[in-house]
């Protein structure tokens, strides 16, 4: 069983997931404040690892060298800043640019981690549930195209295997020209095959009344009251964060002069809202796990 299936957040209505990820990624992209990036990173790593298990840890570990590379590379191209640490190729390598690099690299990796979580949570059918009703025809088209790709890959393998068994196809010692010519053969066969399949699929769609009426869209999930509560909580939090950003509470300049707004006083509430918002999936996950333990002990 995949980890995602244990995840309470993934079980919520797709609108909840979609709103969350738009918030996490959209708001995150607007904030370059180190503390906010750190907070976002913390929750992204936790949730990503909860979803992906040990494989998730590996991805996180792999992102560390990327982070370091980006951090140290920034001062090589950005020479602004006041505190010069050293000179590389005769150009200044500044403290401000280094910190700036750290912030950009951190933000990028955090966004990528959130995107990874999005992929695990928002499967294609959830996307369809959400948008199938709004644009039924286009979303159907999209879905069919997405289905076509893995089908094609399978067929290429089948064609290549079949050709190998009659001694055709690119042999191990074939020249580049032979290989290229053979790929052309396989490609043309693939096209014929796909076209033929397409004709049948079109017939099958026609046979089931495609295009006779305005399409409706079947949705597997209903919105529950808990989903509505969650959505409202998220909306309030998001509004608070947007207000904070608009008010300059998350402003951070690095070069040429470093100016980072301190997180104190009135800004503290905004920061808390940001943390609570991002922690929602993790909190739900843990709450569900604890609840499950308790209810299971009663079985």
Partner 1 sequence: MAHFEIRDLSFSYASAKGKLSLDSVSFDIQRGEYLVLCGRSGSGKTTLLKQLKPVLAPAGKRGGEILFNSAPIRALSERDQAAKIGYVMQNPDDQIVTDKVWHELAFGLESLGCDQKTMRARVAEMACYFGIQDWFHRDVANLSGGQKQLLNLASIMAMQPEVLILDEPTSQLDPIAASDFLNTVRKINLELGTTVIITEHRLEDIFPHADRAVVMDEGRVIADDVPRSIGKLLFEQRNPMFTAMPTPVRVFYGAGAEGKCPLTVREGRTWLSETFPNGAKTKSLPEEKDPAETGEPALTMKELWFRYEKDSPDIMRGVSAEVPTGSLYAIVGGNGAGKSTTLKAICGINRPYRGKIKVFGRPVEKYKSSELFSRCLAMLPQDPKSLFVKRSVREDLSEMNADRDRVQEIAELCRIVPLLDSHPYDLSGGEQQRAALAKVLLTEPRLLLLDEPTKGIDSFFKETFAGILSELKRKGVTVVMVSHDVEFCARYADMVSMFFDGQILTTDTPRRFFGSNSFYTTAANRMSRHVFSQAVTAEDVIALYGANREALA
Point out which residues bind partner 1 (CB under 8 A). Answer: 124-125, 128, 136, 140, 143-144, 146-147, 150-151, 155, 158-159, 161-168, 171-173, 185-186, 188-189, 192-193, 196-198, 200-201, 203-220
Q: Residue 21 CB, nearest distance to partner 1 (Å)?
A: 21
CA distances from 296 to 287, 288, 292 (A): 14, 12, 6
Partners of residue 253 on adjacent β-strands = 259
How far apart, in whole angstroms, are the C-alpha atoms of residue 95 and residue 256?
10
CA 150 to chain centre: 20
Q: Which two tokens stand for residue 47?
A: 């949730």
Q: Closer CB to partner 1, residue 83 or residue 206?
A: 206
Q: Closer CB to partner 1, residue 119 or residue 188?
A: 188
Q: Residue 56 CB, nearest distance to partner 1 (Å)?
A: 19
Q: Which two tokens stand for residue 164?
A: 């190998």
Q: Closer CB to partner 1, residue 196 or residue 253?
A: 196
Q: Residue 235 CB, nearest distance to partner 1 (Å)?
A: 25
Q: Closer CB to partner 1, residue 51 or residue 128?
A: 128
Q: Residue 15 CB, nearest distance to partner 1 (Å)?
A: 16
Say how many C-beta atoms besides its own lie within 10 A of residue 269's C-beta. 12
Q: Residue 100 CB, nearest distance to partner 1 (Å)?
A: 44
Say how many C-beta atoms besides its own lie within 10 A of residue 1's C-beta. 5
Alpha helices, H only, 165-175: none
Q: Closer CB to partner 1, residue 35 or residue 148?
A: 148
């Amino acid at each position: 069983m995949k980890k995602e299936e244990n995840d309470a957040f993934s079980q919520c209505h797709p609108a909840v997931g979609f709103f969350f990820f738009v918030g996490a990624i959209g708001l995150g992209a607007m904030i370059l404040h180190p503390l906010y990036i750190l907070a976002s990173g913390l929750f992204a790593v936790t949730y990503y690892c909860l979803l992906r298990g040990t494989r998730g840890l590996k991805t996180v570990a792999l992102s560390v060298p990327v982070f370091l590379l980006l951090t140290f590379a920034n001062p090589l191209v950005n020479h602004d800043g006041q505190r010069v640490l050293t000179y590389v190729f005769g150009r200044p390598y500044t403290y401000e640019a280094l910190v700036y690099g750290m912030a950009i690299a951190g933000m990028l990796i955090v966004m990528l981690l959130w995107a990874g979580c999005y992929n695990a949570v928002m499967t294609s059918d959830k996307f369809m549930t959400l948008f199938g009703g709004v644009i039924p025809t286009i979303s159907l088209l999209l879905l069919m195209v997405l289905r076509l790709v893995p089908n094609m890959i399978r067929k290429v393998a089948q064609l290549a295997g079949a050709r190998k068994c009659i001694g055709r196809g690119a042999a191990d010692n074939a020249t580049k020209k032979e290989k290229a010519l053979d790929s052309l053969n396989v490609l043309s066969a693939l096209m014929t095959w796909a076209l033929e399949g397409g004709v049948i699929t079109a017939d099958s769609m026609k046979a089931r009344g495609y295009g006779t009426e305005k399409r409706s869209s079947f949705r597997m999930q209903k919105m529950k009251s808990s989903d509505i509560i969650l959505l409202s909580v998220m909306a309030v939090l998001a509004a608070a964060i947007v207000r904070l950003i608009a008010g300059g509470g998350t402003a951070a300049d690095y070069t040429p002069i470093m100016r980072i707004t301190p997180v104190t006083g009135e800004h503290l509430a905004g920061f808390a809202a940001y943390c609570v918002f991002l922690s929602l999936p993790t909190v739900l996950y843990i709450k569900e796990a604890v609840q499950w333990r308790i209810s299971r002990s009663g079985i």
